[in-house]
């Protein structure tokens, strides 16, 4: 009986694999034909259409192209939405006579507040064209409601939920775990606020970290609440009371306090859309998905003047860029190409990074400085441009940040882990060595560091901090001591950073492009080109499928322990000198 079960299972597995292979070949063939015919055809949009924006997927800076869309692959529709192409699409829809309005679905927005603000501003500009926006959801999180608040009408399911109770940030600590495992972190840092390593030797926030986090979320909360109050025509003091006391605990409360216009079921929202479109009771609503609509137009320009937009998204690492990392080699190469290309009149660095390797950050900073000697280089900060992310921006001519951008964190830390207790006492593994010099194994994890070795590591860390702050002061036109007074690893919002002189302009990507064009003298005659070129779609999809499968298995096996496992694995990447954001956000 077991033989037949195994045999049938193998046959079924082979059949499924064959079907997937057939679809894969069809997808590759279709993509190849599309490439040979000059790319995707322009899609025709019917009159009296509604642009359907579903923003419940990860938000990245650029789109991940999905040529297999519509095919029955697992997770094939769960692709990210690129912020910059999305903004261009909304802008085009505002002038497209075929599009009468936007139907907005945003429940679990998977982006940062700075990204949310850019989308929100694009929607506000869309409304200025005289067109309408209707938002509907069964559940609004804090930041998804922030986006939806610009809509002409907001509808919530009668049994749904609206979360509007302020912001909270949670930080995980691993000291007790390390104590149990006999793992001892060897930590070297500069700056009272450089708290990325605190989870390794503390069991709660330091006073400095608590101070900066409180100031950070207060500023973000106040900023977003002001915009929501203005959009919904609610007094800001009243809105603050609603959020602070969590007065909205039921759908009826959301309607009572004018946060939503009506409590509607899906069919009632559909009836509202039909009414706006002048359709009959059973008239078909022509909803056009973002993935389709973005193929209905092209932004190709005949201008000979190019503004190169170099997108730096993810953690900073040496070498080639990865799926979600900024590789110093890749970034430097793109900057060199833009610097030496006569068609490129200006460069915009679009940064969304919490930092990473100190050396890699400095390698890229050098290329930024060289580029500024040839043409205007403008930094546009997204959700994060902190530590190493700020390192990339500080050499630019102008730095543009959103009020809710998380930036600064000008500080350095180095960390090694002494695993001798864990390996010896828990696993029964011991080590011995011979060496030619006193410091031949200064990066060891098999024994505690000596006092002399610790001194060397601290000196190395201090030197990197001195270089970081000196270069930052030079880039910002400040005295070093003045710069260091706002450094020490402290994190600021964009608004706070502007007050401290770390940022020049509060605004978004479009503002950065406008500044770049004006500085280059091509304000009315330019085209945008985005770099680096997008990764091969097939390789990207296969990587994502494999990674998602591994993650899914680990989550099922570890349950609530998965997040702890993820953080411990990430700790492996922190060895050596780092210019990295001093915490990882767990928004609540």
Name the CA radius of gyration of the chain, rounded.
26
Between 19-23, 98-102, 290-294, 463-467, the lowest mean confidence (pLDDT) is in 19-23
> For position 539, what pLDDT does the model report?
54
pTM: 0.85
Comparing 222-231, 338-347, 421-430, 540-549, the range with the smallest average pLDDT is: 540-549
CB of 540 closer than 8 Å to CB of 64: yes
DSSP 227-262: HHHHHHT--HHHHHHHHHTT---SHHHHHHTTSSSE
SS3 (DSSP) at 511: helix
Q: What pLDDT is recorded for position 540? A: 54
Check residue 43 and give its pLDDT. Answer: 87
Instruction: Give the integer Cα–Cα distance in Å for 155 and 135.
Output: 6
pLDDT in tens, 170-198: 889 999 999 999 999 999 998 778 788 89
Q: What is the DSSP string of 442-497?
A: TT-SSSPPPHHHHHHHHHHHHHHHHHHHHHHHHHHT--HHHHHTT-TT-EEEHHHH
Cis peptide before 532 (omega within 30 of 0): yes
- pLDDT at res. 35: 43
Please state, in angstroms and rounded to a whole number, the distance separating the CA atoms of residues 352 and 88. 19
For residue 302, with 0-12 CB atoms within 10 Å meaning exposed, 13-18 middle and 19 or more buried, which class applies?
exposed
- Round to whole Å and give the CA distance between 410 and 465: 8
d(CA 267, CA 586): 35
| pLDDT surpassing 60 at residue 537 | no
Domains of the chain, with CATH numbers?
Answer: 49-164+248-293 (3.90.226.10), 306-430+440-580 (3.90.226.10)
- Quickly state the pLDDT bin for 234 (edges 50, 70, 90): very high
What confidence tier does 425 reach under pLDDT thresholds 50, 70, 90? Answer: very high
User: Tell me, what's the pLDDT at 36?
Assistant: 39
pLDDT of 256 reads 98
Confidence of residue 79 (pLDDT cuts 50, 70, 90): confident
CA dihedral 95, 97, 101, 104 (to 10 degrees): -70
More confident of the two residues 124 and 37: 124
* Catalytic site positions: 194, 387
């Amino acid at each position: 009986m077991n033989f037949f079960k195994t045999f049938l299972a193998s046959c079924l597995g082979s059949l499924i694999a064959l079907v997937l292979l057939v679809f894969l070949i069809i997808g590759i063939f279709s993509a190849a034909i599309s490439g040979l015919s000059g790319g995707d055809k322009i899609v025709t949009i019917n009159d009296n259409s509604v642009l359907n924006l579903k923003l419940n997927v990860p938000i990245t800076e650029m789109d991940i192209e999905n040529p297999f869309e519509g095919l029955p692959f697992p997770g094939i529709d769960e692709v990210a939405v690129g912020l910059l192409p999305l903004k261009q699409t909304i802008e085009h829809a505002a002038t497209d006579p075929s599009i009468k309005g936007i139907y907005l679905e945003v429940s679990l927005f998977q982006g940062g507040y700075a990204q949310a603000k850019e989308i929100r501003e694009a929607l506000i500009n869309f409304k200025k064209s005289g067109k309408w926006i209707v938002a509907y959801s069964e559940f609004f999180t804090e930041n998804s409601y922030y986006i939806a608040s610009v809509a002409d009408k907001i509808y919530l399911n009668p049994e749904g939920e609206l979360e509007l109770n302020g912001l909270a940030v949670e930080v995980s600590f691993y000291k007790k775990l390390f104590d149990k495992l006999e793992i001892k972190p060897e930590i070297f840092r500069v700056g009272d606020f450089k708290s990325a390593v605190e989870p390794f030797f503390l069991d709660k926030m330091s006073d400095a970290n608590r101070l900066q986090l409180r100031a950070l979320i207060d500023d973000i909360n106040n900023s977003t609440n002001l915009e929501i109050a203005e959009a919904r025509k609610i007094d800001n003091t009243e809105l603050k009371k609603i959020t602070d006391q969590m007065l909205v605990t039921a759908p009826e409360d959301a309607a009572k306090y004018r946060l939503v216009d009506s409590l509607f079921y899906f069919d009632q929202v559909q009836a509202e859309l039909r009414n706006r479109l002048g359709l009959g009771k059973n008239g078909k609503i022509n909803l056009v998905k973002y993935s389709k609509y973005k193929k209905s137009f092209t932004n190709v320009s005949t201008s000979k003047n190019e503004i190169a937009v170099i997108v730096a998204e993810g953690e900073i690492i040496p070498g080639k860029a990865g799926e979600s990392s900024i590789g110093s080699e890749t970034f430097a190469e793109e900057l060199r190409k833009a610097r030496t290309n006569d068609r490129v009149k200006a460069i915009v660095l679009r940064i969304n990074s919490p930092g990473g390797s100190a050396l890699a950050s400095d390698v890229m900073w050098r290329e930024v400085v060289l580029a500024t000697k040839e043409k205007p280089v403008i930094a546009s900060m997204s959700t994060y441009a902190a530590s190493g992310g700020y390192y990339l921006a500080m050499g630019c001519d102008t730095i543009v940040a959103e009020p809710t951008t998380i930036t600064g964190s000008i500080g350095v830390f180095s960390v090694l882990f002494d695993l001798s207790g864990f390996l010896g006492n828990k696993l029964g593994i011991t080590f011995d060595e011979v060496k030619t010099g006193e410091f031949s194994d200064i990066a060891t994890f098999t024994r505690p560091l000596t006092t002399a070795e610790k001194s060397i590591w601290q000196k190395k860390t201090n030197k990197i901090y001195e270089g970081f702050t000196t270069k930052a002061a030079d880039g910002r036109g400040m005295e070093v001591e003045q710069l260091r007074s706002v450094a020490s690893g402290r994190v600021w919002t964009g608004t706070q950073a502007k007050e401290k002189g770390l940022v020049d302009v509060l605004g978004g990507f479009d503002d950065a492009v406008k500044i770049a064009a004006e500085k280059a003298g091509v304000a009315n005659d330019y085209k945008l080109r985005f770099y680096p070129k997008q990764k091969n779609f097939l390789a990207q999809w296969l990587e994502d499928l494999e990674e998602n499968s591994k993650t899914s298995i680990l989550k099922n096996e570890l349950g609530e322990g998965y997040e702890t496992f993820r953080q411990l694995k990430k700790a492996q990447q922190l060895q050596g000198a780092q210019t990295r954001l001093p915490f990882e956000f767990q928004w609540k």
